[in-house]
Amino acid sequence: MGERAMNGQIQEAEYALINALGTIVAAVGATPNVTIPEQLKGELGIIGNALQAAGSALDANKSDGLDAIGDGTQAFGNSLVIYGAIAHGPEENGIRATLNGNWLQALGGSLSLHSNLVSEERNRSVALSVIGNLLQIAGNSLQGASSILRLNQTADETKSERIDTTGSWVQAIGAVLSFLAVLDQVGMDEDKLFKNPY
């Protein structure tokens, strides 16, 4: 592997780290038991989704095929979640934007999953990436389900909040695993580079 390819993987790891940090920040903001002011929790949600959107958009810029489309879709989904949090007007509009944003993130994760599933490589990095993606898809789906419950008012607010919090942390764990997958791949390729530099 050449130096340019190695630099590309290091960039990919940086983007995955930005995304992972964003999911953790958003999850802290979505956790009701954390003793911080409600306004700050809302701001953490916005900051976390902005970081996720930035990480996904940067990754989409260097990816191709379904990976690029998936990353772009996730970035757009995060932008809709931000819009839902800051939108003026009826609360229902904000909830709908958040719902659509979470579904788009889940869809984007599904598209990004494809390259790992068809890859001929079978190693720890690929396994971590697949598990990380699946957890992020599940987390976004739980957050979407929470928004549906809020819209339909079919459950009390506490239940909806619990589902949203669970989804946020499941997504965060998935994003951390995806970051570790990229980091692991960089480590494996560095070993190959130093063992056979030509």
Nearest residue to 24 via CA among 168, 138, 179, 185 = 168
Q: Which domain, by its residues, includes 29?
A: 3-195
CA distance 91 to 177: 34
Torsion angle in degrees (nearest 10) through CA of 156, 161, 164, 168: -170
Which pLDDT tens digits describe the chain residue by residue (198 residues)?
455 666 777 888 999 999 999 999 999 999 988 888 888 988 999 999 999 999 999 998 888 888 899 999 999 999 999 999 998 889 899 999 999 999 999 999 999 888 888 877 788 889 999 999 999 999 999 999 999 999 988 767 888 999 999 999 999 999 999 999 999 888 766 555 445 544
**How many domains does the chain contain in total?**
1
Terminal-to-terminal C-alpha distance of the chain: 9
Question: Within 13 Å, how many C-alpha atoms sit on residue 125's CB side?
Answer: 14
pLDDT for 194:
44
* pTM for this predicted structure: 0.87
Q: Give the pLDDT score at 133.
A: 95
